[in-house]
Amino acid sequence: MSCPVLVDSGGTNLGSVRYALQRLGVDAPLATTPAQLRAASHVILPGVGAAGPGMQRLRELELVETLRGLGQPVLGVCLGMQLLFDASSEGGETCLGVIPARVEKLAAAPGLRVPHMGWNRLLHSGGHRLLRGLDADAHAYFVHSYAAPVGPWTLAAAEHGQRFSAVVQKDNFYGMQFHPERSGAAGALLLQNFLSL
């Protein structure tokens, strides 16, 4: 029987995402091979850090083409979400190219700290299965310096000097810019909704 897996992307949030899934009754093993990804019911791509090392790790594991071609639900978390886009301005890195847009550095301004760290409201209108049951005033925990633009892929946005994508979806690919594993009940709900897709 297939189960969800976590891509061993080398991110420091691997353990905390795995523990968050265990709290939901799901033990998701680490996956490092194309065969493990193809056999999984759901694939979660965590990540913390920079786009360059994140993509380099996926290339070293020879997972790039496999990830692009998966048909089951795939969830990118934090950097993992950014890697779903065409490219990142962080080092001019070419990413997975699932979502046709470029991730850009958040603009600093007086009284506005970058990286964006802390709790922020999720701006959404519901309507998608991934957001089912999510409170209209739900907040999530963010830690990032780069962000994806708002577009047709945006299910929820957030604001930090500018509006950016907080939850995205294109076909079977989903992303959360924040850390659901550190976002309390809202994060647990979103992870549970993802696993039910």
Tokens of 143: 């830690």
Catalytic annotation present for 3: no
Q: What is the amino acid identity at position 4?
A: P
Tokens of 1: 């029987």
The residue annotated as part of the active site, out of 42, 78, 124, 160, is 78
Q: What is the amino acid identity at position 17?
A: V
Q: What is the amino acid identity at position 142?
A: F
Cα separations (Å) of 27 from 24, 49, 61?
9, 25, 22
Q: Is the peptide bond before 115 cis (omega within 30 degrees of 0)?
A: yes
Catalytic annotation present for 181: yes
Q: What is the amino acid identity at position 183?
A: S
The residue annotated as part of the active site, out of 42, 124, 160, 179, is 179
Tokens of 165: 């994508």
Active site residues: 78, 179, 181
